[in-house]
Structure 1
Amino acid sequence: MRADVHPFASAAPDDVEGLAQALRDRRIEAADIMAVIGKTEGNGAGNDFTRTMAAHAFTRLLAAHLAIPEQGVERQVMLSFSGGCEGVITPHYLVCTKTGVVARGESAGPKRLALAASRTRAFDPEETGTVAMARDTEAAVRRAISELHVPPDDVHLVHVKAALPMVAAGAATPPRCTMAYARAASALGVAAALGEIDGGALTDDVIGTRLELYSQVANVSAKPGLRVSEVLVFANSPHWDSSCRIHHTVMRDIIDIEPVRALLEAAGLSACGQLAPDQTRRIRAIFAKSDADPTHMIRGRRHTMWTDEDFSDMRYSRCVVGATLAALTGTTAVYVSTRAEHMGPSGGGPVAVIVNEK
């Protein structure tokens, strides 16, 4: 089995020409695509329609190449888009593919990138942000890990497009049916699946409040209107063939660069100064979660990200983390998603980097 992540720049939210050309050239086969994960240049809030534009464009492209109805595309391929390309962040997308089969009795080799997808059941609005959502997310993650036959320590990123069901017209919106609670419950489900927290101790009261409970590898966004949460697990496995490996770390706040330096060094890249261009070219993808610290402090000094009424705290934190990671790695193709409830310590967040080993 072989896993790959193919990066493409986008000139607009609905620009799919990079993938379209790769499909025409047969460099990528549509049937091998597991997910398209991208950053679009909207505001990242509930009214960010650039995500919908991107999803529609990729749906049309993939439906034509897969020869299936458009409504069937998202049942086969995860389409996950995060709005907000503040500062130097480049609008881009990543096409994740899986090809071949693992031969029976195949000998183990060096650990390489491995991918597995899973889904939860459909949620009702009143289940959003509750223990029920966390439990089902936990089960979905466990199914994906079981498919990969890897221990939790070899899992370095769990990307979740969390469900946020629509509420019927005229009905009262359940208090937990929000992006924040959907992200929080899903992240705790990831943490429980990987043994990062005691899943048996989860209650509704913990979700969104006990921020000292978190996952070091969860990367969760919530999509309004989605009833089924979609999960993509990135791991390293000795039974997979890939030119890539994935590595992860955790920033304790949004200016915490030393763990990222250590991550780059572990990936065989220079930890001193900005990466040289030949090393930057080895980076296939960078994922990060960011948050403006809710205490309004960073290392003992006050910040104004939560009190500036002209600019969203989400846009501030994306801008800072995007610039920090770009300065270290030399690439602005950084997938930074906010907010980060139960994803890394409060005010910080996980970082994962996929590096070409060859």
Structure 2
Amino acid sequence: MNEAQPTVQHVDVFRVPCSGPGDLRGVQALIDTGALVPAHIVAVMGKTEGNGCVNDHTRDFAATSWCHFLGPHLGCSPAQVAERVALVMSGGTEGVLSPHFTVFTRSRVPAPGHTDKRLVVGIAHTGDFLPEELGRAAQITATATATRAAMTDAGITDPADVHFVQVKCPLLTAAKVQAALTRGVQPVTQDAYESMGFSRGASALGVAVALGEVSADAATDAAVLSDWSLFSARASASAGIELEHNVVIVLGEAASAASPIRIGHTVMQDAVDAISVRRLLHEHFDIDPDSPALAQQQVTVLAKAEASPSGRVRGERHTMLNDSDINATRHARAAVGGVLASVVGHTALYVSGGAEHQGPAGGGPLAALVRVPTAGAHHG
């Protein structure tokens, strides 16, 4: 009797438009045609049209909608869906950004017989955090551990093969702050909005430690939102009110994977750094950004956006940090979204605001996922 044929990961990516955070009709249509198998869904990254701030409940609405939608398909409760599928919802589609969901599926298939590197994905969760642990070493350490676990889940052993790590992390509310104070402990801040930055920053440093970009000794409480020389070139962290733990999605490449998609990353040095994006497309994927091939092969772009803390972009003053009407992260998403859309030619882009310790100050990590030409039709 022949031995079982070895199997490898097959990851596919579906970019699905939506009319609102609870609109999953496009997902259902893909399921109805057989293009999307619910049991194969491993992660969903959504861009919802809220303000992306503390009170953006479109993220919770979207995540809850996915849990109730997938429950019957997976034969489990909505709460169990959240344990099986990594759901990351990022609020804010300012400017030309279009609300959408990016759905990652994963299955095992016979080895394709090539040694080329292709997309793989892994997920992991931390435990719930106490309010006083957010933005501090406990969150850094737990995120580093979860990132390593997600790498293992993806089948990645070399950190160099990791191209993007998406983290969804919690924030502080007035109730959480009061609960900590009642127990006689001080949270890292008592300001709910400021806590988003601390949570994102600590999560990003956790990724940096896991990938060997920052030493564990350097990633201290004091370094969070203070030492901007410490950052990850591949971390993307989004804070929200809808969870108490960190969700980690690792996207990378592995030799011999059967996926029809490749992934590569770069770092935008500032909000208008289109050159780095064009260079990534040309050098990593051998695609001329001005060629029609880009539209045919493009799957999606994942990026972080940041308002430069210096108050300047390439020497010129900006006012994003001084606007009392519109938060700086919203300005940044709109600016970066416009720049990226002008390069890749579409607006269904995952652009997340607030890049603390995610790329250099004022810049941010970016990953592109591109369908291999021989893989057949593009799932758009």
Do they superpose with TM above 0.5? yes
User: Is 1:196–2:202 an aligned residue pair?
Assistant: no
Aligned length: 353
Structure 1 runs (4+) deviating above 4 angstroms are 165-170
User: TM-score, normalized by length of structure 1?
Assistant: 0.94
Q: Which residue, 75, 100, 107 being the options, matches 2:108?
A: 100
Q: Deviations over 1:26-63 (max 9, x none)?
A: 32221111111111111111111221221222122101
3-state secondary structure, aligned to 2:11: strand
Q: Which residue, 103, 124, 131 being the options, matches 1:125?
A: 131
Report what 2:271 is aligned to: 254
Identical amino acids, percent of aligned pairs? 39
User: TM-score, normalized by length of structure 2?
Assistant: 0.88
Structure 1 pair 86/315, CA: closer, same or farther in 2 (3 Å)?
Answer: same
User: Is 1:39–2:47 an aligned residue pair?
Assistant: yes
CA RMSD of aligned residues (A): 1.9
Q: Is the 8 A contact 1:123 1:165 kept in 2?
A: no
Map 1:1-358 onto structure 2 (within 5 A). Answer: 1-100=9-108, 109-147=115-153, 148-164=155-171, 167-168=175-176, 170-171=178-179, 172=181, 174-176=187-189, 178-265=195-282, 266-271=284-289, 274-276=290-292, 278-358=293-373
* 1:175 aligned partner, one-letter code: V
Q: For the residues of structure 1 that align with 2:78 and 2:202, how far apart are their CA atoms?
A: 30
Q: For the residues of structure 2 that align with 1:62 and 1:150, how far apart are their CA atoms?
A: 31
Structure 1: gaps (5+ residues): none
Structure 1 pair 352/168, CA: closer, same or farther in 2 (3 Å)?
Answer: closer
Q: For the residues of structure 1 that align with 2:124 and 2:294, how far apart are their CA atoms?
A: 33
* 1:145 aligned partner, one-letter code: M
* 2:285 aligned partner, one-letter code: A
Q: For the residues of structure 2 that align with 1:170 and 1:345, how far apart are their CA atoms?
A: 34
Structure 2: gaps (5+ residues): 1-8, 374-380
Q: Is the 8 A contact 1:130 1:176 kept in 2?
A: no
Structure 1 pair 238/202, CA: closer, same or farther in 2 (3 Å)?
Answer: same
Q: Deviations over 1:75-109 (max 9, x none)?
A: 11111111111111111111111101677xx9661
In proportion to residue count, which structure has more helix? Answer: 2
Structure 1 pair 258/170, CA: closer, same or farther in 2 (3 Å)?
Answer: closer
Q: For the residues of structure 1 that align with 2:316 and 2:98, how far apart are their CA atoms?
A: 30
Further displaced range: 82-91 or 348-357: 82-91
* 2:313 aligned partner, one-letter code: I
* 2:288 aligned partner, one-letter code: S
